[in-house]
């Protein structure tokens, strides 16, 4: 098994700032927009973006939530490994709001499909957009594309993208791992 650094800490930081600017360009004051990090790994991206938007671009208030999709996954009862749910934290209304779903890696699109189903439990948004840090574009099983993407990666079958975060893993780095 070999691994190659796809993005360093500096590159991740640059990409997060670009994504924050793109969000700012399309949503200005975030009055009618909410960010929803998809549990577990999308929450790190959503947290970072929220911090950048508030501290560096002066956005006063951003509604940030976290969505667990475990019970909405189509592989929930398949396989030997028991999936463990994480916590959903959405303490605001999303009715008629613009929702930006945030995840770290877009692979097959199945997690996003699950998130689209799960978010309906919280109301009917006026619009839903997708932001992903990494887009594995040749791996899609469903017709799902991001509105905002950090980096497009052409990973083939035996390759895996692994995203590490300081808060959870001790460093910010993204690897391409060849199994």
Amino acid 157: pLDDT: 72
Average pLDDT, the chain: 91
Q: Which of helix, strand or coil describes residue 83? A: coil
Amino acid 175: pLDDT: 95
Amino acid 92: pLDDT: 94
Give per-residue pLDDT as tens, 109-165: 999 999 999 999 999 999 999 999 999 988 888 899 999 999 999 877 788 999 999
Global confidence as pTM = 0.93
| 121 Rama class: left (phi>0) / alpha (psi -120 to 50) / beta | alpha
Amino acid 26: pLDDT: 97
With tokens 């909405």, the residue in question is 72
Has residue 16 got a pLDDT over 70? yes
How many C-beta atoms lie closer than 10 Å to residue 5's C-beta? 10
Q: Which residues of 82-95 are buried (b: 16+ CB within 10 A; e: fewer)?
A: eeeeeebebeeebe
For 12, 49, 141, 177, the CA distances from 137, given in Å and listed in that order, are 19, 23, 10, 16
Amino acid 70: pLDDT: 84
Burial class (CB in 10 A: 0-12, 13-18, 19+), 36: buried
With tokens 């945030």, the residue in question is 102
| DSSP symbol at 82 | P
């Amino acid at each position: 098994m070999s691994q190659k650094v796809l993005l360093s800490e500096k590159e991740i930081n640059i990409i997060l700032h670009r994504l924050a600017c793109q969000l700012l360009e399309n949503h200005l004051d975030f009055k009618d927009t909410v960010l929803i990090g998809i549990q577990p790994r999308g929450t790190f991206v959503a947290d970072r973006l929220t911090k950048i938007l508030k501290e560096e671009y002066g956005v006063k208030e951003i509604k940030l939530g976290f969505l667990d999709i475990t019970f909405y996954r189509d592989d929930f009862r398949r396989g030997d490994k028991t999936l463990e749910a994480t916590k959903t934290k959405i303490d605001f209304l999303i009715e008629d709001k613009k929702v930006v779903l945030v995840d770290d890696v877009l692979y097959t699109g199945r997690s996003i499909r699950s998130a689209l189903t799960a978010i309906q439990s919280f109301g009917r948004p006026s619009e839903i957009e997708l932001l992903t840090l990494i887009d594995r574009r040749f791996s899609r099983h469903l017709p799902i594309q991001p509105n905002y993407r950090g980096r497009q990666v052409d990973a083939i079958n035996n390759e895996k993208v692994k995203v590490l975060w300081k808060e959870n893993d001790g460093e910010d780095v993204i690897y391409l791992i060849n199994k």
